[in-house]
Amino acid sequence: MITPATLQFIEDLKKNNDRDWFQANQDRYEFYKKDYRDMVDEFLEVMKPLDDTLEQLEFKDCSYRINRDIRFSKDKTPYKTHMGIWMCEGKKNTNLAGYYVHIEKGAAFAAGGLYWPDAADLKKIRREIDGFYEELEEIVAAPDFKKVFGKLESNDTNTLKSSPKDFDKSHPAIEFLKLKSFMASTPISDKELTSKTFAKDISKKLMAIKPLIEFLNRGLTTE
């Protein structure tokens, strides 16, 4: 579970996102770090038996530094105001699909899939969809997937307005082929965040998206 103290630290950091406040609250940050590590370890303990591709993961593979990279950003606030957990077969800095848990009071969610792949990987995914779209249709139509995640995210930002190059607009999987990002998410309530069974409950939900992750990773790794 995430402690109320950690959630409050994140909320206070939102209002005081500067180095002076952060340095003055190092004791709270140390507690945040311990809570973060405990939470990731708890998720890995639950998730590894459910997905053996995660077996090699450790805390460092699934966590993020609190410092923001502001070199190329207009937003110069120095610290992240949420906690993220990323679990993926290829660890954090690879291009494979995986599971994500976003921890933030009033805005938490669990998600999975592949976020904005580069052009080469997008081409691989579209090739996989072209050849096995019936399988993808079954995955997103599965009762568990629909109950937890609803559908793949599709909006004006992550979806082409017309068919991609090399694919006819009459292709039976054209709505999948038009996607540029392959993600689905489900909200997490504040009550769930501080539940003693948080990791277990969210891991169960994440299993509904495991077939999609396997489908995407097969496309990325098959020559």
- Both tokens assigned to 95: 């291009």
Judge whether 85 and 42 are in contact, CB under 8 Å: no
In this structure, the number of other CB atoms found within 10 A of the CB of residue 30 comes to 10
pTM of the model: 0.95
Dihedral class, residue 142 (left if φ above 0, else alpha if ψ from -120 to 50, else beta): beta
- Both tokens assigned to 205: 């939900």
- N- to C-terminal Cα separation, the chain: 41
CATH number of this structure's domain 4-221, picked from the four choices 3.40.630, 3.30.930, 1.20.120, 1.10.3470: 3.30.930
pLDDT digits (tens, 9 = 90+) for 154-163: 999 999 999 9
> Please, what are the averages of pLDDT over each run of 10 residues along the chain (223 residues)?
94 97 98 97 98 95 94 91 94 83 97 96 97 98 98 96 92 97 97 96 98 97 86
- Both tokens assigned to 86: 């990323």
With b for 16 or more beta-carbon neighbours within 10 A and e for fewer, the 138-170 pattern comes to ebbebeebeebbeebbbeeebeeeeebeebeee
Q: Delimit the domains of the chain by residue range.
A: 4-221
pLDDT digits (tens, 9 = 90+) for 75-95: 899 999 999 999 999 766 678
